[in-house]
C-alpha cells in the first residue's frame, strides 16, 4: 500500500472513531452485566485483535511518514486505545476478590499493565495526553541541529559524526547542538507526567513508576531490590573498564580535559548519550591490529545492500531451525531512510496483526554496528512470530527484558569463527591477544551500557513519584549519570536545558529497565544455550550458529510469550528461576584480568 493510500485509510479511521466508540460503549454495557471472568477475558482478546491492528498501522505510518496528518491519525488511534483500556480496566474491577482460574487472573492483571502511559478517565485529559505523546515523539523524530541555515544535521547523522569524530571541540558542538531539540519538550513532558500519573492512580497505583515496576511478577519494592542486586554483581567489572578508558582518554585529550580522579566528559565516548563506547575502540584497542574483525570493510567492499544485511541475520535464525521471515516482511519493512520525507530512524521491530505481519524499521548503514542491530531487531521479530498463537493478552515477552535479550543473545554468537564462516571476515588462528581485543570491543558496548540502562528508569521513577520535580529535572539527571556511570556534562548545564529529552526513550515513553535486564539475561541465556549445543571451551568463544538443539529449546521458551511468570520461562531454558549476572563475569574473565593489570597503580573511581 503506498503512503497516500495509508494516509487516506487512516483519515477514514479517524472520521469513524466517534461512531465506533459509541457503538462500543453500547455493546460493553450489555456484555458486562452477564459475563463471567472467563468470557470477559475472551472478549478482551477478540477486541485486541482488531484494535491492535488499527493502532499499529497508525503508529507505523506516523513513524515512517512524519507529517501533521499522520500526527492526527496516530493521536486518534492512541486515544481510541486509551479509552478502550480505561473502560476495560474499570470493567475488570468487578472480578476483584473472585476465585479465578490462574490464566484468567493473569490476563486481567496484564490488562491493567497493558500501557506505558495510562490515560485518565476524563475524555479531555485523555485527548490531551495522546496529543502530547504524539507531539514530543514527533519533535524527536524530526529534530535537527542546524550549523547554518542550509546546513542542518539529523539525529542519525549526528550520531555517526559522534562516532567518527575525534576533535574535542567539534564533538562538543554536536553534543550541545543535538540537545537543543529537547528544550521545547520540557513543559510538555511535565504535563505528560501529571496526566499519566493520574491515569496510573485510577488503576490503583501510586504513580506511573510503581505501575511500571509492577510488571515483573514481583512487588515493585522487590523489583527495585532485584535491579540493585544485579547491578552489584557487575559493578566491579564496570569500574575497572571506566578506570582504564578514562586513563586512555587522558593520554589523548590531556588530564586537564579528562581529570584522572573524576568523571569522564560525556561527549568523548563515541556515542551521543555515552551509553555505549564501542566507537572509540580504536583509541582503546589493547593490541593494535591483532585479530582485527573489520566487518565494516567487508560490507563496503562487497557493497552489501540493506536487504542483504538483513538476509544475513535471517540466515542465523534459520540455522537454528526457526522459520524464514514471511514475504510481507520484505515488502513492508523500512530498510533505508527515504529521501522525500521525515521518518523515525531509531531501529525498531514490529509484530503487527498479532505477529502475522512482521516488519523492521531502520535507516541501515554499511557498518558492523548496524549489522549487529539488525540481528538484535530480528530477535524481536522471531519472538513475535513464536508467540503469535498465544491469546492476544499473552503476546509479549515473559517480561520486557526477555524481548530485548533474544536478539542480544544471538549477537554473542557473532564470534570471529562465525563471521569467518559466513564470509564477513577472513579466518585467523586463535590468539589470546585477539580474545582480549574482541572482549574489549564488546565490553565497550555491553558493560559500558549497564549503568546507563539502570539509571534511565531510576530517573523516571523519581519524576513520577514527585521526588524529582520539573525544577530539578536536569540536575537529578546528571546526578544519576555521575553516580552510576562516572560521566559528567562537558559544559555547564542548567534547568533551562532538558537533556533527558535528547534520548529517544524519554519522549517516546519507552520503559528502559528492559535494556538493563536484557544485557544481564543475554549472557545467562547464552551460557545455557552453549551447554545445550555442547560447546567445549570458554563462554566467550561459543557460537550456537547451526545448533538445532539450542534453537529448539530457545524457540520453545519464546513460544510461551507472557502466558506464565517469567521465572517459569527462564527455568525452561536455564534450569534456574533467578536472573543471574555471574554469566557476564564468566564471559569477560579474560578481559577482567587484563584490566586489573592495566589499572595497577592508577587511582580509580570518581
In order of 238, 440, 452, the CA distances from 591 in angstroms are 11, 7, 21
**What is the per-residue pLDDT across 154-206, written as a single tens digit (0 to 9) for each?**
998 999 999 999 999 999 999 999 999 999 999 999 999 999 999 999 988 99
**What is the per-residue pLDDT across 106-152, written as a single tens digit (0 to 9) for each?**
999 999 898 899 989 899 999 999 899 989 999 998 999 999 888 99
Q: Residue 344: pLDDT band by 50, 70, 90 thresholds? A: confident
Q: Any long-range contacts for 162-167 (C-beta under 8 Å, 24+ apart)?
A: 162/267, 162/270, 162/271, 162/272, 162/279, 163/270, 163/271, 163/279, 163/369, 164/279, 166/252, 166/283
**What is the per-residue pLDDT across 550-566, written as a single tens digit (0 to 9) for each?**
999 999 999 999 999 99
More confidently predicted of 14 and 495: 495
pLDDT of residue 22: 47
Q: Residue 5: pLDDT band by 50, 70, 90 thresholds? A: very low
Quote the DSSP letter at residue 128: H
pLDDT of residue 429: 64
pLDDT exceeds cutoff 60 at 414: yes
In order of 298, 299, 365, 431, the CA distances from 304 in angstroms are 8, 5, 10, 29
- Tell me the residue ranges of DSSP E strands in 277-356: 348-352
pLDDT exceeds cutoff 50 at 392: yes
Task: For residue 152, list its beta bridge partners.
Answer: 146
Hey, where are the domains in the chain?
3-140+187-219
The total of other beta-carbon atoms located within 10 Å of residue 446's CB is 25
Interhelix angle 186-202/68-92, nearest 10 degrees: 20
The pTM of the full predicted model, rounded to 2 decimals, is 0.84
Catalytic residues: 346-347, 376-377, 380, 404, 505, 515
Whats the size of the chain, residue-wise?
606
pLDDT of residue 2: 40
Q: What's the average model confidence in pLDDT over 276-280?
A: 95
Q: Residue 86: pLDDT band by 50, 70, 90 thresholds? A: confident
**What is the per-residue pLDDT across 456-481, written as a single tens digit (0 to 9) for each?**
999 999 999 999 999 999 999 999 99
Q: What's the average model confidence in pLDDT over 564-580?
A: 96
Alpha carbons 470 and 496: distance in angstroms, whole number: 11
**What is the per-residue pLDDT across 519-552, written as a single tens digit (0 to 9) for each?**
999 999 999 999 999 999 999 999 999 999 999 9
pLDDT exceeds cutoff 70 at 296: yes
* Winning range, highest mean pLDDT, from 6-15, 196-205, 321-330: 321-330
Interhelix angle 400-412/548-559, nearest 10 degrees: 170
Q: What's the average model confidence in pLDDT over 419-431?
A: 83
Q: Considering the chain, what percentage of its residues have pLDDT values greater than 90?
A: 82
pLDDT of residue 430: 66
pLDDT of residue 448: 98
Mean pLDDT of the chain: 91
pLDDT of residue 418: 94
What are 339's three cell numbers? 529521501
Alpha carbons 212 and 469: distance in angstroms, whole number: 19
Q: What's the average model confidence in pLDDT over 570-574?
A: 96
Nearest to 101 by CA among 112, 89, 91, 109: 109
pLDDT of residue 33: 54
In order of 249, 449, 512, 593, 605, the CA distances from 242 in angstroms are 10, 11, 22, 15, 8
The total of other beta-carbon atoms located within 10 Å of residue 605's CB is 10
State the sign of the Cα–Cα–Cα–Cα dihedral 189, 192, 198, 204. Answer: negative
First to last CA, the chain: 55
pLDDT of residue 393: 96
Among 79-88, 124-133, 508-517, whose mean pLDDT is lowest? 79-88
pLDDT of residue 115: 86
Amino acid at each position: 500500500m503506498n503512503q497516500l493510500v495509508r494516509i487516506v485509510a487512516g483519515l477514514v479511521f479517524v472520521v469513524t472513531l466517534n461512531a465506533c466508540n459509541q457503538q462500543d460503549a453500547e455493546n460493553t454495557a450489555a456484555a458486562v452485566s452477564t459475563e463471567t471472568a472467563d468470557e470477559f477475558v475472551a472478549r478482551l482478546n477478540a477486541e485486541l485483535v482488531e484494535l491492535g491492528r488499527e493502532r499499529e498501522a497508525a503508529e507505523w505510518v506516523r513513524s515512517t511518514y512524519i507529517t501533521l496528518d499522520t500526527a492526527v491519525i496516530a493521536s486518534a488511534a492512541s486515544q481510541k486505545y486509551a479509552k478502550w483500556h480505561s473502560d476495560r480496566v474499570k470493567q475488570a474491577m468487578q472480578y476483584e476478590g473472585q476465585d479465578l482460574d490462574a490464566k484468567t487472573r493473569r490476563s486481567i492483571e496484564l490488562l491493567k499493565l497493558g500501557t506505558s502511559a495510562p490515560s485518565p478517565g476524563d475524555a479531555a485529559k485523555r485527548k490531551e495526553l495522546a496529543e502530547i505523546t504524539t507531539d514530543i515523539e514527533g519533535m524527536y523524530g524530526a529534530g535537527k541541529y542546524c550549523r547554518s541555515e542550509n546546513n542542518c544535521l539529523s539525529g542519525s547523522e549526528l550520531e555517526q559524526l559522534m562516532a567518527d569524530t575525534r576533535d574535542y571541540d567539534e564533538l562538543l558542538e554536536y553534543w550541545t547542538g543535538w540537545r537543543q531539540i529537547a528544550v521545547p519538550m520540557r513543559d510538555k513532558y511535565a504535563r505528560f507526567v501529571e496526566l499519566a500519573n493520574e491515569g496510573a492512580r485510577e488503576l490503583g497505583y501510586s504513580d506511573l513508576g510503581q505501575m511500571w515496576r509492577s510488571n515483573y511478577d514481583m512487588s515493585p519494592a522487590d523489583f527495585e531490590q532485584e535491579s540493585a542486586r544485579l547491578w552489584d554483581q557487575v559493578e566491579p567489572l564496570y569500574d575497572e573498564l571506566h578506570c582504564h578508558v578514562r586513563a586512555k582518554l587522558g593520554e589523548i585529550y590531556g588530564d586537564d580535559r579528562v581529570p584522572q580522579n573524576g568523571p569522564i566528559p560525556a561527549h568523548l565516548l563515541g556515542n551521543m548519550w555515552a551509553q555505549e563506547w564501542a566507537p572509540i575502540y580504536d583509541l582503546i584497542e589493547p593490541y593494535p591490529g591483532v585479530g582485527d574483525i573489520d566487518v565494516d570493510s567487508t560490507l563496503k567492499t562487497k557493497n552489501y545492500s540493506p536487504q542483504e544485511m538483513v538476509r544475513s541475520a535471517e540466515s542465523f535464525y534459520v540455522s537454528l531451525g526457526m522459520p524464514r521471515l514471511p514475504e510481507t516482511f520484505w515488502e513492508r519493512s523500512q530498510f533505508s531512510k527515504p529521501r522525500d520525507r521525515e521518518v523515525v530512524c531509531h531501529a525498531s521491530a514490529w509484530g503487527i496483526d498479532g505477529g502475522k505481519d512482521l516488519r523492521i524499521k531502520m535507516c541501515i548503514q554499511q557498518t558492523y554496528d548496524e549489522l549487529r542491530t539488525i540481528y538484535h531487531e530480528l530477535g524481536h521479530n522471531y519472538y513475535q512470530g513464536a508467540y503469535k498463537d498465544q491469546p492476544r493478552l499473552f503476546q509479549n515477552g515473559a517480561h520486557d527484558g526477555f524481548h530485548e535479550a533474544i536478539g542480544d543473545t544471538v549477537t554473542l554468537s557473532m564470534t570471529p569463527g562465525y563471521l569467518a564462516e559466513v564470509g564477513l571476515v577472513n579466518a585467523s588462528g586463535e590468539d589470546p591477544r585477539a580474545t582480549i581485543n574482541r572482549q574489549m570491543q564488546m565490553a565497550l558496548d555491553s558493560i559500558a551500557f549497564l549503568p546507563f540502562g539502570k539509571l534511565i528508569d531510576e530517573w523516571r521513577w523519581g519524576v513520577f513519584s514527585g521526588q524529582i520535580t520539573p525544577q530539578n529535572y536536569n540536575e537529578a539527571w546528571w546526578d544519576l549519570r555521575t553516580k552510576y556511570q562516572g560521566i559528567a556534562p562537558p559544559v555547564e548545564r542548567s534547568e533551562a536545558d532538558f537533556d533527558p529529552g535528547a534520548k529517544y526513550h524519554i519522549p517516546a515513553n519507552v520503559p528502559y529497565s528492559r535494556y538493563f535486564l536484557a544485557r544481564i539475561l543475554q549472557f545467562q541465556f547464552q551460557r545455557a544455550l552453549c551447554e545445550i549445543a555442547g560447546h567445549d571451551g570458554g563462554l566467550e568463544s561459543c557460537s550456537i550458529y547451526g545448533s538445532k538443539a539450542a534453537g529448539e529449546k530457545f524457540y520453545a521458551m519464546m513460544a510461551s510469550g507472557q502466558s506464565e511468570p517469567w521465572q517459569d520461562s527462564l527455568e525452561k531454558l536455564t534450569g534456574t528461576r533467578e536472573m543471574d549476572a555471574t554469566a557476564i563475569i564468566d564471559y569477560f574473565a579474560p578481559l577482567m584480568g587484563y584490566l586489573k593489570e592495566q589499572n595497577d597503580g592508577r587511582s580509580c573511581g570518581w
